[in-house]
Structures are given as C-alpha cells and as structure tokens.
Amino acid sequence: MERDTSNKVNNEPESSILFCKTQYAGIEVHKRLILLLKYISEKYFHNMEASDEGEYWETGNDDLLKQNFQKYSNIISYVTARLELEIKLPGEDEDLEEYFRKLLKDYREKK
C-alpha cells in the first residue's frame, strides 16, 4: 500500500510542521541550530519556511536574539515564581487558557 502524499486541493505535496524549543539549550545552541536549518533549507528544502521567536532566522542579529531570550526567560521565571509562591491552580470551572492570560496580564502590569 502506498501513502498518498498529494494535496487533494491543488495536487501539491503535503507539508509537515516541525517544532523545536531551544530556550533551555541556550543562545549558542539556538544559533547553531538556525545555521544548520538554513543550510538544509538552501541545499535540500527550497520551500522550507521557519518561524523563530528569537528572530535570529530572519535577522542574524545576536543582540536581538539575546534580548528575546532574556524576555522569554523573564516571562518563564515570573510564571514559575507565581506558581511556586501562590500555588493557586485554576479551579475546575476556570479555563486554563484564561488562567495563564491572567498571569501574563499581572506580569505586564508589574513590569
């Protein structure tokens, strides 16, 4: 049995989405991974698209990457501290997404 990899609408190959989180690996690992992905995309996957929260893929800017890493580290630290200190988990009737929206809103207001 063969797998059908064509898109039924426009007869193009199906696409895949891959995800990789490098926040805990550090800036140098993130940069090396981006360089590897750029090489692979140029040599083998010409239609490859990437979205980089650190914006290094798009800009190659070390300072911007450091700023973005710091921003996300601050958010993660804040949410972790709130969870550890208050240990106020969402109630059964509270939407988890709304719970985290409130945490992020509090974070923004306290900056």
Identity of the amino acid at 86: E
Tens-place pLDDT, residues 46-100 = 888 888 999 999 999 999 999 999 999 998 888 888 777 665 666 667 777 887 8
Asked if 54 contacts 31 with a C-beta cutoff of 8 angstroms, the reply is: no
**At 6, is the secondary structure helix, strand, or coil?**
strand
Task: Examine the pLDDT at 26 and tell me if it is beyond 80.
Answer: yes
* pLDDT, the chain, mean: 81
**At 13, is the secondary structure helix, strand, or coil?**
strand
Identity of the amino acid at 106: D
